[in-house]
Structure 1
Amino acid sequence: MKKLTLPFLCFLFLFFQLDAQVTLDYYLPANVTYNSSIPTPESILGYEVGEWHVNHDQLVKYMEVLAEASERIKLEVYAKTYEDRKLLLLTITSPRNHENLESIKSDHVKLTDPSASVTLDTENMPGVAWMGYSVHGNEPSGTNASLLVAYYLAAAQGPEIEKLLDETVVLMDPMINPDGNMRFSTWVNSRKSMNQVTDPNNMEQNEYWPRGRTNHYWFDLNRDWLPLQHPESKGRIEKFHEWKPNVLTDHHEMGTNSTFFFQPGVPSRNHPITPQRTFELTEEIGKYHGAALDSIGSFYYSKQGYDDFYYGKGSTYPDVNGAVGILFEQASSRGHAQESVNGILRFPFTIKNQFATSLSTLKATHNLRVQLLDHQRTFYSTAKKQASADPIKAIVFGAEKDRSRLYNLAEILKRHQIEIYELSQQLNVGNNRYEPNKSFIVPLDQKQYRLIKALFEKRTSFKDSLFYDVSAWTLPLAFNLNYTELNTKTYKPQYLGKKIENLVRQKGKLIGGTSDYAYVFEWFGYYTSRALNRLHEAGIRVKVATEPFQAANGQKFNYGTILVPVSTQDVSQEKVTEIIGKIVEEDEIDVWSLQTSGVQSGIYLGSGSFASLRKPKIMMVVDDGVSGYDAGEVWHLFDQRFNIKVSMLSASRFNRVNLSQYNTLILVDGNYSGISGKGREKLKTWIEQGGNVIAMQSAIQWLASNGFSDIKFKKTTPDSLHLRPYATRSKYNGAQVIGGAIFETRLDLTHPIAYGYEKDLLPIFRNTSTFMERKKGAYANPVMYTAAPLLSGYISDKNAKKLSNTAAVCVSALGAGRIISFTDDPNFRAFWYGTNKLFMNSIFFGSIISSGSTR
Structure 2
Amino acid sequence: MSRVITLLLLIFSVVSQAQDFDTLSLDYYLPKDITYNPEIPKPQNIIGFVPGQWHVSHDRLVNYMTKLAEVSPRISLENRGTTYEGRPLLLLTISSEENIKNIDQIRQNHKALVEAGSEDVDIKEMPVVVNQGFSIHGNEPSGTNAALVAAYHLAAAEGEEIQELLKNTIILFDPSFNPDGLQRFAYWANTNRSANINADPQDREYDEVWPGGRTNHYWFDLNRDWLPAQLPESRARIKTFHDWYPNILTDHHEMGSNSSFFFQPGIPSRTHPLTPDLNQELTREIGNYHAEAFDKLGSFYFTEESYDDFYYGKGSTFPDINGSIGILFEQASSRGHAQETDNGLLTFPFTIRNQFTAALSTLEAAKNMRVKLLNYQRDFYKNARNSAGKGEWAFGSSKDANSAYYLAEIMKRHQIDIHPVEEEFTEDGKTYKPGSSYIIPKNQRQHRLVEAMFEKRTSFEDSLFYDISAWTFPLAFNVDYTDSASLANAGDKISALEKPEIPSVEKSDYAYVMEWHDYNAPKALNMILNKGLRAKVAMQEFGTATNKYDYGSIMIPVQNQKLNKQELFDFIKYVAETSNIEIDAVGTGLTSGINLGSRFFLPLENQEIAIIVGEGITPYDAGEIWHLFDQRYDIKVTKLNTRNFGRADLSRYTDIILVNSWRSALDERNTEKLKTWIRNGGTLIAYRNASRFLTTNKLLDLKIKSSDIEAKNVSFEQRRDFYGAQGIGGAIFEAKLDRSHPIAFGYTSDHLALFRNTTTFIEADDQSYNNPIQYTNDPLLSGYISEEKNEEIKNTVPFKKGSLGRGNVIYFTDNTNFRAFWYGTNKLLMNAIFFGDHM
Normalising by the smaller structure, the TM-score range is over 0.9
Distance 1:341 1:263 in 2: 23
Report which stretch shifted further, 196-205 or 157-166.
196-205
Q: Are 1:393 and 2:391 matched, yes or no?
A: yes
Match of 2:101 in 1: 99
Q: 1:14 to 1:813 in 2, by over 3 A?
A: closer
The residue number in structure 2 matching 1:268 is: 269
The alpha carbon displacement at 1:13 in A equals 8.9
Query: 1:278·1:324 contact (CA, 8 Å) conserved in 2?
Result: yes
The CA distance in 2 between the partners of 1:256 and 1:672, in whole Å, is: 23
- Preserved CA contact (<8 Å) 1:126 1:167: yes
- Structure 1 pair 91–543 and aligned structure 2 pair: CA distance change class (3 A): same
Specify which of 523, 527, 532 is matched with residue 525 of structure 2: 532
**Deviation, structure 1 residue 437:** 2.8
Q: 1:516 Cα shift?
A: 3.0
Structure 1 position 493, deviation (Å): 4.2
2:771 counterpart of 1:769: no
Which position in structure 2 is the counterpart of 1:69?
71
Deviations 1:276-332 (A, max 9, x none): 111111000000001111111100000011111111011111111111010000000
Answer whether contact 2:511 2:556 (CA < 8 A) is retained.
Answer: yes
Contact 1:517 1:567 in 2 (8 A): yes
Name the residue aligned to 2:560: 568
Of the structure 1 ranges 353-362 and 393-402, higher mean CA displacement relative to structure 2 is found in 393-402
Q: Is the 8 Å Cα contact of residues 18 and 197 (structure 2) preserved in structure 1? A: no
Kindly state the Cα deviation for residue 818 of structure 1 after the two structures are TM-superposed: 1.2
- Could you tell me which residue of structure 2 aligns to residue 4 of structure 1? none
**Residues 672 and 699 in structure 1, CA contact (< 8 A), matched pair in contact too:** no
How many Å separate the matches in 1 of 2:746 and 2:714?
49
Describe the superposition over 1:186-227 as per-residue Cα deviations: whole angstroms up to 9, x where unpaired: 011001011111111111011011111000000011000000
Q: Give the Cα separation in 1 of the matches to 2:420 and 2:78.
A: 35
**2:453 alignment counterpart:** 455
* Aligned amino acid, residue 510 of structure 2: Y
1:38-77 correspondence to structure 2 within 5 Å: 38-77=40-79
Matched, 1:558 2:550: yes
What's the CA shift for 1:15? 10
Are residue 639 (structure 1) and residue 630 (structure 2) matched? yes
Residue 438 of structure 2 corresponds to 440
Q: Identify the residue that residue 793 of structure 1 maps to in structure 2.
A: 783
1:346-405 Cα shifts (integer Å, max 9, x gaps) = 000000000001000000000101100111111111112212xx3x43111110201000
Q: 2:614·2:643 contact (CA, 8 Å) conserved in 1?
A: no
Structure 1 residue 161 displacement after superposition: 0.3
Task: Report how far residue 598 of structure 1 moved.
Answer: 2.1
Aligned ranges 1:92-491 → 2 under 5 Å: 92-115=94-117, 117-387=118-388, 390=389, 392-486=390-484, 491=485
Work out whether residues 539 and 571 of structure 1, in 8 Å CA contact, stay in contact via their aligned partners in 2: no
The one-letter code matched in structure 2 to 1:467 is F
Code of the aligned partner of 2:394: V
Partners of 1:18 and 1:514 in 2: CA distance: 75
Given that residues 742 and 766 in structure 1 are in contact (C-alpha distance below 8 angstroms), is that contact kept between their aligned partners in structure 2? Answer: yes
**1:637-662 deviation digits (Å, cap 9, x = unpaired):** 00001010111111232222221111
* Number of positions where the alignment pairs a residue of Structure 1 with one of Structure 2: 826
Deviation of 1:848 after TM superposition, in Å, equals: 1.4
Residues 530-574 of structure 1 deviation map (CA, whole Å, 9 limit, x = unaligned): 0000011111111101111123x4422111010111211134434
Q: Kindly state the Cα deviation for residue 492 of structure 1 after the two structures are TM-superposed.
A: 4.1
Structural mapping, 1:578-727, within 5 Å: 578-599=570-591, 601-671=592-662, 673-719=664-710, 722-727=712-717
Choose which of 509, 515, 518 in structure 1 pairs with 2:508.
515
CA distance in 2 between counterparts of 1:98 and 1:689 reads 67
Letter in 1 for 2:211: P
User: What is the letter of the counterpart of residue 439 of structure 1?
Assistant: S
Tell me how far apart the structure 1 counterparts of residues 212 and 17 of structure 2 sit (CA, whole Å): 29
Residue 785 (structure 1) shift = 0.6
Aligned partners of 1:672 and 1:620: how far apart in 2?
17
Q: 1:497 aligns with which of 471, 483, 491?
A: 491
Task: Pick the aligned partner of 2:821 from 831, 834, 843.
Answer: 831
SS of the aligned residue for 2:120 comes to: coil
- Counterpart-to-counterpart distance in 2, 1:177 and 1:411: 23
SS at match of 2:802: strand
Larger displacement relative to structure 2 (527-536 or 664-673): 664-673
Percent identity, please.
51
4+ residue segments displaced more than 3 Å: 12-19, 571-575
Distance 1:537 1:651 in 2: 28
Show the 5 A alignment for 1:754-765.
754-765=744-755
| Shift of residue 122, structure 1, vs aligned partner | 1.5
> Is the Cα–Cα contact under 8 Å of residues 509 and 584 in structure 1 kept in the other structure?
no
Aligned counterpart, 1:3: none
TM-score, normalisation: structure 2: 0.97
Shift in Å, 1:672: 6.0
Match of 2:9 in 1: none
Q: Which amino acid aligns with 2:107?
A: K
Deviation at 1:587, TM superposition (A): 1.4
Q: 8 Å contact 2:15–2:196 — kept in the other structure?
A: no
Match of 2:7 in 1: none
Q: Distance in 2 between matches of 1:124 and 1:674?
A: 60
Contact 2:615 2:643 in 1 (8 A): no
In 1: Cα distance, 2:504 partner to 2:744 partner = 25
Partner of 2:805: 815
Aligned residue type for 1:821? Y
Instruction: Please give the alpha-carbon distance, in whole angstroms, between the structure 1 residues aligned to 2:418 and 2:183.
Output: 39
Shift of 1:62: 0.3
Contact 1:547/1:558 (<8 A) preserved: yes
**Could you tell me how far apart the structure 1 residues matched to 2:287 and 2:814 are?**
39
Preserved CA contact (<8 Å) 2:14 2:199: no
Aligned residue for 2:462, secondary structure, equals coil
3-state SS in 1 of match to 2:131: strand
Does the residue aligned with 1:257 lie in a helix, a strand or coil?
coil
In 2, are the aligned partners of 1:426 and 1:435 still within 8 Å (CA)? Answer: yes
Of the structure 1 ranges 132-141 and 513-522, higher mean CA displacement relative to structure 2 is found in 513-522
User: Is residue 135–residue 252 contact of structure 2 (8 Å, CA) maintained in 1?
Assistant: yes
Q: 2:599 & 2:741 partners in 1: Cα distance?
A: 17
What SS does the corresponding residue of 1:135 show, helix, strand or coil? coil
Distance 1:63 1:752, change over 3 A: same
CA contact (8 A) 1:520 1:563 kept: yes
- The SS at the match of 2:491 is strand
Name which of structure 1's ranges 313-322 and 422-431 shifts more when overlaid on structure 2: 422-431
Counterpart contact for 1:671–1:699, Cα < 8 Å: no
Encode CA deviations 1:8-33: one digit per residue, 9 max, x unaligned: xxxx9999856412201100001100
Cα distance in 2, alignment partners of residues 97 and 649 from structure 1: 53
Letter in 1 for 2:673: K
Q: 2:3 aligns to what?
A: none
Distance 1:677 1:670 in 2: 16
Q: Which amino acid aligns with 2:683?
A: N
Aligned-partner Cα distance in 1 for 2:512–2:148: 59
